[in-house]
């Protein structure tokens, strides 16, 4: 192998591209992990270094600063306007319509029973709604079940909330939905909007969106919810934060209410206010 054929290290590659000043060293990686923990309660593992590098490098370039150290100084500056973008950059937002469908099947059964009894609208909280697919899936289930609903959708990431609240998506985002669902719940774009779909007004009337950090010491005062979705979020929280979150959700749920969590999560299992009632679903016990 000739000298010119030898594989180059990531550092050498970046230096060749003019990004040597932006390399993420151990000190700045630790600092970024500390800041996202302080601002969002997210505990990033050491294995997330490449993710942090790639996402923050875009912010380094966008702000025209010369290094990660300078960028993190900007994030920490008093009255910083970059802090929100920093949190948004390190927030993972993986979602889809009707993701983990067993939760929506359970919700449909509850909603249909509520509709038959003529009870008030079902109050549901999508507590980490990302770009909105979870909240709008909830709205579809309620509409199909003939159940009135009041859906509160929140997320820490202001950027994804803007997408969620508009309810407009590329057509490929809904390609796996049944044709009858597409026709019932979406409007297809035409002309300049071809290739896009938007949520119908009947669903929009059910949902409201707001920014919220689940690790914030205080949440806005709310009536109790009948169902809370908190899926694939607490994997970024430590054990004590998970316990505190379970207790707070217990206080926010009506007796008999449901808490839906992610496929790899079980943080409500050890709390006396919850009992398992199916795969990654927990019911708020009345006692």
Q: Are 36 and 42 contacting, i.e. CB atoms less than 8 angstroms apart?
A: yes
Predicted confidence (pLDDT) at residue 37 exceeds the cutoff of 60: yes
Candidate CATH numbers 3.40.50.150, 3.40.1800.10, 3.40.50.2000, 3.30.70.330; the one for domain 101-284: 3.40.50.150
Cα atoms in the 13 Å half-sphere on the side-chain side of 90? 29
Q: Do domains 3-89 and 101-284 have the same CATH topology?
A: no
Distance spanning both ends of the chain, measured CA to CA: 73
Q: What's the mean pLDDT in 2-6? A: 40
Per residue in 229-260, pLDDT (tens digit) is 999 888 778 889 999 999 999 999 999 999 99
Cα–Cα distance between 248 and 189 in angstroms, integer? 41
Radius of gyration, CA atoms only, the chain? 22
Cα–Cα distance between 116 and 177 in angstroms, integer? 27
- Better pLDDT: 273 or 11: 273
Candidate CATH numbers 3.40.50.300, 1.10.155.10, 1.10.240.10, 1.10.10.10; the one for domain 3-89: 1.10.155.10
What is the pLDDT, as a whole number, of residue 23?
82
What is the pLDDT, as a whole number, of residue 92?
65
Active-site entry in 19, 49, 55, 99? 55
Active-site entry in 155, 157, 226, 241? 155
- Better pLDDT: 21 or 40: 40
Residue position matching structure tokens 């806005």 = 220
What's the gap between Cα 189 and its chain centre?
Answer: 26
Q: What is the pTM of this model?
A: 0.76
Asked if 279 is an active-site residue, the reply is no
What is the pLDDT, as a whole number, of residue 20?
42
Per residue in 71-87, pLDDT (tens digit) is 999 999 988 889 888 88
Predicted confidence (pLDDT) at residue 3 exceeds the cutoff of 60: no
Predicted confidence (pLDDT) at residue 26 exceeds the cutoff of 60: yes
Q: Where are the domains of the chain?
A: 3-89, 101-284
Report angle CA 209, 63, 214 to the nearest 5 degrees.
30
Asked if 14 is an active-site residue, the reply is no
Question: Which ranges in the chain belong to alpha helices (H)?
Answer: 10-16, 26-40, 49-63, 68-76, 83-89, 101-117, 133-144, 158-166, 179-185, 201-204, 239-252
């Amino acid at each position: 192998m000739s000298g010119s054929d030898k594989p180059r290290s990531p550092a050498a590659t970046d230096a060749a591209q003019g990004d040597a000043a932006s390399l993420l060293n151990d000190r700045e990686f630790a600092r970024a992990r500390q800041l996202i923990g302080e601002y969002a309660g997210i505990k990033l593992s050491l294995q997330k270094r490449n993710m942090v590098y790639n996402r923050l490098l875009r912010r380094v370039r966008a702000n025209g600063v010369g290094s990660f150290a300078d960028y993190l100084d900007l994030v920490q500056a008093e009255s910083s306007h970059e802090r929100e973008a920093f949190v948004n950059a390190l927030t993972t937002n993986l979602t889809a319509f009707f993701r983990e469908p067993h939760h929506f099947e359970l919700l449909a059964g509850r909603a249909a029973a509520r509709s038959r009894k003529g009870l008030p609208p079902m109050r549901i909280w999508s507590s980490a709604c990302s770009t909105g697919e979870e909240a709008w899936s909830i709205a579809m289930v309620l509409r199909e079940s003939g159940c009135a609903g009041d859906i509160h959708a929140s997320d820490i990431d202001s950027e994804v909330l803007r997408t969620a609240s508009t309810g407009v998506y590329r057509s490929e985002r809904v390609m796996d939905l049944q044709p009858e669902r597409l026709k019932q719940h979406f409007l297809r774009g035409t002309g300049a909007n071809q290739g896009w779909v938007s949520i119908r007004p009947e669903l929009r009337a059910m949902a409201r969106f707001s920014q919220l950090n689940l690790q914030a010491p205080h949440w806005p005062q709310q009536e109790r919810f009948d169902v809370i979705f908190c899926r694939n979020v607490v994997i970024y929280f430590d054990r004590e934060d998970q316990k505190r979150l379970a207790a707070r959700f217990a206080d926010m749920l009506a007796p008999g209410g449901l808490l839906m969590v992610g496929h790899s999560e079980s943080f409500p299992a050890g709390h006396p206010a919850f009992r398992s009632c199916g795969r990654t679903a927990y019911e708020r016990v009345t006692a």
